[in-house]
Chains A and B, each alone.
Chain A
Amino acid sequence: MLTPAEWQALALSLRIALISVAVALPFALALGYAMSRARFPGKSLVEAFLNLPLILPPVVTGYALLVTFGARGTAGRWLAEFGIVFSFRWTGAALAAAVMSFPLLVISVRAGFDAVDRRLEAAAESLGAGAWRRFATVTLPLSLRSVLAGCVLAFARAFGEFGATISFVGSIPGETRTLSIAIWELLNQPGGEAGLGRLVWAAFGVAVAASLAAALLRPRNGAGERDA
């Protein structure tokens, strides 16, 4: 069984991952829809920028977050006036997790929207449905599997987040010491093998569950998407 400190790290990771996905999802839906439907100048540029967190070394992303949202960052100072503080808080860890998993979420959501038969949206329009209603009653239900699969992937990515988190908010027990960070600390600590083994198994369990969920959610032929 896990020790209380280990439970704390596991629970913190789960909570941060869940919240990061919940917060990122509305933005991912809006952006994924725009990328799927709209044509605008600089679209490739937006796409390239979106994928940066996938490509940049995570510590660089973490550093960028620190500079922007840290206690002395421009956005950080501004948000602090509204009582929103990221530096060395679990909220910062959630922000780092959200940023790191955001590209995966957008890619999946967008693929779902791309697969929806546009002619069905036109049919809804002819039946008097405005843009919001079309989205809520046709586009979103028909791409739900991709959206949920994207959520699972993003959750898994957020759950394992390490580099950006540790460079942005450090390792504070109960606040920012997530499972990954706890494992890393144990690696550097003589005699940490037993705890290390337990945490690695816990991480393995969560990863397998998420991977299974994603596989079950993968769009099947004829089960909604691209099927009129």
Chain B
Amino acid sequence: MLDLAIAWRTRDFDLDVTIASTARHLALFGPSGSGKTSCLLAIAGLRRPDRGRIALDGRVLFDTAAGIDVPAAERGLGVVFQDGRLFPHLRVRDNLAYGRRARTGSDAIDVDTAVQLLGLADLLGRWPASLSGGEARRVAIGRALLARPRALLLDEPLVGLHREARAQVLAYLTRLNAELAIPTLLVSHQPEEVIALAQEVVLLDDGAARDLVTREQFARRMPPAHA
């Protein structure tokens, strides 16, 4: 699914990552500062690496050698940001609808399905400022899904949530993986999330991909009690 080789030098760190995986549900795992989120933003088209190539499901999104750099708005990827990033001036309903018209992606998902899958029915008329952390995260996931993305990019979707909300959002994400055919890329530093949501795991450290392992191999190396 993901074929990526990018190099990138910023003030803070050097990134030189190569990933090739056919898994439908892939995770980038590593400590903070390892370059996970930078990779995700590069795939989303929100940050531009110095050079390299990114292809997702056979579609080239970025290739410095070929002069390709598909604008983020046209990549057809749903991004769930760490901080949710709901539009504060739009009610939940309008946040959910924001990306809907733009895309003609893979599997169409309608509002009712997303609302039901993520348990959003009671939130539709609310303002983002009035949502709890877990609720806001679920709305952010729904908003990304409703843009009918070719793939869903999840950037630490559970970070900053308290224990109960984390368990709840994780359960929703597990359900999405089971019920929808949308490929996902998870960025996380929490082994339990990775084990629950990914088939293959890229281990990132210090700006480079050190290893690509299956979920089972990952689970053996990283007992969930660690989390």
Task: Point out the residue from B79, B81, B88, B99 that lies within 8 Å of A227, measured CB to CB.
Answer: B88
Q: Write out, one digit per residue, whether chain A residues 209-228 have a CB within 8 A of any chain B CB (1) or not (0).
A: 00000000000001010011
A115 interface residue (CB < 8 Å to B): no
**When chains A and B are docked, how far (Å) is the Cα of A83 from the Cα of B72?**
45
Contacting residues, chain B, for A228 (C-beta < 8 A): 83-86, 88
Residues of B within 8 A of A129 (CB): 73, 98-99, 102
Q: How many residues of A contact B (CB 8 A)?
A: 19
CB distance from A123 to the nearest CB of B (A): 4
A203 at the interface (CB under 8 A from B): no
Chain B interface main SS type? loop
> B81 to A123, Cβ gap below 8 A?
yes
Q: B61-104: contact bitstring with A at CB < 8 Å (1 yes, 0 no)?
A: 00000000001111111110101111111000000001101110
Main secondary structure, interface of A, reads helix
Instruction: Name the CB-closest residue of B to A225.
Output: B88
Assembly CA distance A146 to B83 (angstroms):
25
Q: Does A128 contact B (CB under 8 A)?
A: yes
Does A125 interact with chain B (Cβ within 8 Å)? yes
**Complex CA distance for A23 and B143, rounded to whole angstroms:** 38
B residues less than 8 Å from A148 (CB atoms): none
> Contact at B147–A128, with CB atoms within 8 Å?
yes
A224 B89 Cβ-Cβ under 8 A: yes
Residues of A within 8 A of B86 (CB): 228
B98 contacts across to A, CB distance below 8 A: 124, 127, 129, 137
Establish whether residues A125 and B87, one from each chain, have CB atoms under 8 Å apart when the complex forms.
no
Interface residues in A114-128 by Cβ distance below 8 A to B read: 119-120, 122-128
Q: How far does the alpha carbon of A119 sit from the alpha carbon of B46 in the complex, in Å?
A: 10
Supply 22 A–B pairs (Cβ within 8 Å), ascending by A. A119-B85, A120-B87, A123-B81, A124-B87, A125-B72, A126-B44, A126-B75, A126-B77, A126-B79, A127-B78, A128-B73, A128-B76, A128-B101, A129-B98, A129-B102, A130-B73, A141-B89, A142-B88, A142-B89, A222-B129, A228-B85, A228-B86
Interface residues, chain B, with chain A CB atoms under 8 Å away: 44-46, 71-79, 81, 83-89, 98-99, 101-103, 129, 143-144, 147
Given contacts A126-B77, A129-B73, 10 further A-B contacts (CB under 8 A): A119-B85, A120-B87, A120-B88, A124-B87, A124-B98, A125-B72, A126-B75, A126-B78, A127-B73, A228-B85
Binding site for B on A (CB under 8 A): 119-120, 122-130, 137-138, 141-142, 222, 224, 227-228
